Chains A and B, each alone.
Chain A
Amino acid sequence: AQRVTQPEKLLSVFKGAPVELKCNYSYSGSPELFWYVQYSRQRLQLLLRHISRESIKGFTADLNKGETSFHLKKPFAQEEDSAMYYCAPVGRGSYIPTFGRGTSLIVHP
């Protein structure tokens, strides 16, 4: 069965500290991997996708196929990074993502 796990419900850090939001997945084949972000009272929006190998707002995500993980990282957290983050794999050839339960990131001044 397809499964995605974000083990931390809440991650609380101080401004300038490194942050890592964990995502582990269990999928047959090699899914496409996405991170979505939801700022307070706003709609969800795409943060980044693995296939683009991009860095958005200082965030990067590394795919570890051996551990089936796609952790989101940022070396120096900012207060404006406070938001809910969702990991969302999509099976190859599928158009339906499986969303994790989300991690709430709070960055204190």
Chain B
Amino acid sequence: NAGVTQTPKFRVLKTGQSMTLLCAQDMNHEYMYWYRQDPGMGLRLIHYSVGEGTTAKGEVPDGYNVSRLKKQNFLLGLESAAPSQTSVYFCASSYSIPGQGYEQYFGPGTRLTVT
């Protein structure tokens, strides 16, 4: 049981390039999320998904797109990277435990630098 995995772990892009970050979970969780983590800003939600084929915008969606074609995968795309997108990106998944809420399970993160 690998939990939540992310690829790649590191990436350097030039301004204007595109890339896709892949998140996979093997826990059969319905909910999946993409966050970015920046110093002093905590975690900010980019996009999320409540199930296969559905996605929704979070707090900071501009410049990103997502897709959830399979329940276990959640892809984050940057169509035209900008230096402001330099960050550490975390994927998470969750499910509901009756009476206990939604615990989030995080991936190891992807460190992205845009030059």
Contact = CB atoms under 8 A, between A and B. Distances in A.
B104 A36 contact: yes
Contacts of B103: 34, 46, 49
Contacts of B41: 101
Given A44-B106, A95-B31, A86 B50 contact: no
A52 interface: yes
Q: Give the bracket for the number of chain B residues in contact with chain A.
A: 20 to 34
Interface in A32-57: 32, 34, 36, 42-46, 49, 51-52
Q: Give the bracket for the number of chain A residues in contact with chain B.
A: 20 to 34
Q: Is the interface of B mostly helix, strand, loop or mixed?
A: strand
B34 interface: no
A43 B106 contact: yes
B101 A90 contact: yes
A36 B108 CA distance: 14
Contacts of B108: 42-43
A41 to B, nearest CB: 9
B100 interface: yes
Interface of A: 6, 9, 32, 34, 36, 42-46, 49, 51-52, 86, 88, 90, 94-97, 99-102
Interface of B: 4, 31, 33, 35, 40-45, 48, 50, 58, 90, 92, 94, 96, 99-104, 106-109
Given A49-B101, A86-B42, A99-B42, 4 more contacts: A43-B107, A52-B100, A86-B43, A102-B43
